[in-house]
Amino acid sequence: MRAQGVNIIELSPEVYDYENKDFNVLWHQFDALGFKNIKTVPLGDLGIFTGFRNGKVEEVRINGQPLQDTIYYEDDPVVIKYHSK
């Protein structure tokens, strides 16, 4: 059960289209929606020939699950994993 005063957030369609989006852009979209617990995680997975993907989102999870619902709470943890050197 959630504490009183915790806002419900409905995801906008653009956050579902996160593949290859810059992680900063996506962070700001989640922030603008009202999420309070957003974390970014660099994967450190890029080399010489894959550097063009630097900063691009690989995965987003809310409450440890892939995006599947449209309704969340503002304090649900959002984790944005992105490609990095």
Q: 36 lies in a domain?
A: yes
- The pairing of strands 38-42 and 71-73 is unpaired
pLDDT for res 1: 52
List the structure tokens of 72. Answer: 């969340």
Per-residue pLDDT of the chain (85 residues; tens, 9 = 90+): 565 778 999 998 889 889 889 999 999 999 999 999 999 999 999 888 888 899 999 999 999 999 987 899 999 999 999 999 9
- Domain membership of residue 1 (yes or no) is no
Report the alpha-carbon distance of residue 46 to residue 56 in Å, rounded: 11
Per the domain annotation, does 61 fall within a domain?
A: yes
pTM exceeding the 0.85 threshold for the entire prediction:
yes
> Is residue 3 a part of any domain in this protein?
no
Tell me how many domains the chain contains. 1
Predicted local confidence at residue 2, as pLDDT: 60
